[in-house]
Amino acid sequence: MNLEEVARRAKVSTATVSRVLNNAAPVKGTTRARVMRAVEELKYRPNLHARSLAEGKSRSIGVIVSNIENPFFLDIYKAVETGAHSEGYEVLMANTDYRAEQLVTSIRLMIGRRVAGLAAIVSEMDPKLIDELNGYEIPVVFYDVGVPRQNITSIRVNYRRGMEKLTHYLYSLGHRRMGFVGHHATLGPIHERANVVLESVSRYPDLEVQTEADVDSLEGGRRAARALLSADPSLTAIVCVNDLMAVGAMREIRERGLRIPQDISVTGFDNIKLAQFCYPALTTVHIPRDQIGQNICEVLIPNDKTRPEHEMLIDPELVLRDSTGPALR
């Protein structure tokens, strides 16, 4: 079933059917009705590939994330979807699981689908990535990585500031032996979140920091905490790179019979919903995923009303809850 069959049945040309379906031009009421009826009867569904091909573009944008199982990424995706739908766009999602190779593959897939715009919410900074994106004409948004260019917008969170707020807060509570739980993508020497924690060691001479990394998941957080506590049971605080891993870490801590925050404090990062629902509720840093998603849509979807920034920096806020307290040991 294609346009032609519908046209034949409605006794009009394919051009007219197309016009009706896209109400792109004035069509007489009676013919329009005939066409609609034919469409109904035939259960005709336009071939979107053909449409995109003819139009030279697809009314969809691509979103690539590092780990869709982490609610942080999912929230951004959902926010983008909301914005996109309200503009009549669809969103195509791809997940890299932090693999640089998969990121390249995903970018090619999106380009191959001729998305109108592309958002890469990923940590896997890779030279290949730059090469790959360089020279495509579509608008691109990078989150937290890369530098702005002509067609590339960069949205960044000031992780440094966020982490500083956290470590400073813990230090002021008397914590002197801390652990840092990261995931593999935060191992790189350029990663802000891990860095800040490590650098604070030099700022506070009496502070000691251990580091451990595992995969970005509940289990990963748990294993990392286990490694940390096995190596040094005297830790009084564990700083986690994100909320998801923090929840995993808390599980391990409870398992060891330690109380949070009396025996040990835990912090997350992102302020996902789960941070309010876990026990104890997690002290964290808020990253406004809704706003980020909205910004992405403004940049990627052509819109006369808004003139998007070329770069934006978010200063995240500390959220104090029940997982942190004074160092008592």
Partner DNA sequence: TTGAAAGCGGTACCAG
Partner DNA sequence: CTGGTACCGCTTTCAA
Return the one option of DNA, its own copies, none that residue 68 interacts with (CB less than 5 to 8 A, by type): its own copies
Under rule CB under 7 A, residue 183 binds DNA: no
Return the one option of DNA, its own copies, none that residue 308 interacts with (CB less than 5 to 8 A, by type): none
Tell me which H or E stretch contains 285. strand 284-286
Under rule CB under 7 A, residue 14 binds DNA: yes
Under rule CB under 8 A, residue 220 binds its own copies: no
On the CB side of 112, how many CA atoms lie within 13 Å of its CA? 6
Give CA–CA dist 32/39, Å, rounded.
Answer: 11
Give the residue with the Cβ less far from its own copies, 109 or 258.
109
Footprint of its own copies on 268-327 (CB under 8 A): 273-274, 276-279
Give the residue with the Cβ less far from DNA, 43 or 307.
43
- Hey, how many other C-beta atoms are within 10 angstroms of the C-beta on 30? 8
How open is the CA angle 155-158-160, to the nearest 5 degrees?
A: 145
DSSP conformation letters of 139-170: -EEEESSS---SSEEEEEE-HHHHHHHHHHHH
How open is the CA angle 171-176-182, to the nearest 5 degrees?
A: 85
Under rule CB under 7 A, residue 11 binds DNA: yes
Task: Please provide the distance, in angstroms rounded to a whole number, between the alpha carbons at the two ends of the chain.
Answer: 74
Give CA–CA dist 243/273, Å, rounded.
Answer: 9
Footprint of DNA on 41-100 (CB under 7 A): 44-47, 50-51, 53-56
Under rule CB under 7 A, residue 102 binds DNA: no
Residue 253: partners with Cβ closer than 8 Å, 6 or more residues away: 225, 229, 238, 260, 263, 264, 266
Footprint of its own copies on 49-88 (CB under 8 A): 49-50, 52-53, 58, 68-69, 71, 74, 78, 81
Under rule CB under 8 A, residue 41 binds its own copies: no
The interface mask with its own copies, positions 84-113, x = CB under 8 A, is: ------x-xx-x------------xx-xxx
Give the residue with the Cβ less far from its own copies, 90 or 317.
90
Return the one option of DNA, its own copies, none that residue 69 interacts with (CB less than 5 to 8 A, by type): its own copies
φ and ψ at residue 285, rounded to 5 degrees: -125, 130
Q: Applying CB under 8 A, which of residues 19, 222, 223, 289 lies at the interface with its own copies?
A: 222
Q: Which stretch binds its own copies (CB under 8 A): 9-17, 179-187, 250-258, 284-292?
A: 250-258
Give CA–CA dist 289/287, Å, rounded.
Answer: 6
Contacts to DNA by CB under 7 A: 1-4, 11-16, 18-19, 21-22, 24-28, 30-32, 44-47, 50-51, 53-56
